[in-house]
Amino acid sequence: MERDSVDSSNLVSVGYDLPAQYLEIEFKRGAVYGYSGVPRSVYLGLMMAISKGGYHAANIKWLFAYSRGEYSPAPAGAPAPAPAGAPARDYEGKYYG
């Protein structure tokens, strides 16, 4: 995912995928975290915040599902991820478990 550099003492760069509502943040210590289900308004709030680290802590950090590592969109034709609580699917979209 392409990220934009930000002026922050804690964050290095921020990227956002609107259709996926996926926010990606690179931190000064080198870690990259991705947050799922983030509305555009939260992304815009982060980008406009005077304290981006403070905004992240108050409005993103514990409020959205996250994963560590860089964004990797699903390949074309891959089934969409299941909503939380839905039965799991294999790579062909068949239910299992």
The pLDDT tens digits for 45-79 are 999 999 999 999 999 999 999 999 866 655 566 66
Domain presence at residue 87:
no
Can you give the residue range of the structural domain that contains 27?
4-68
Q: Answer whether 25's CB lies under 8 Å from 32's CB.
A: yes
Residue type at 29 in one-letter notation: R
**Residue, of 74 and 12, whose pLDDT is higher:** 12
**By the 8 A CB rule, do 49 and 58 touch?**
no
Q: Tally the domains of the chain.
A: 1
66 contacts 33 by C-beta, under 8 angstroms: yes
> Model's pTM, two decimal places?
0.72
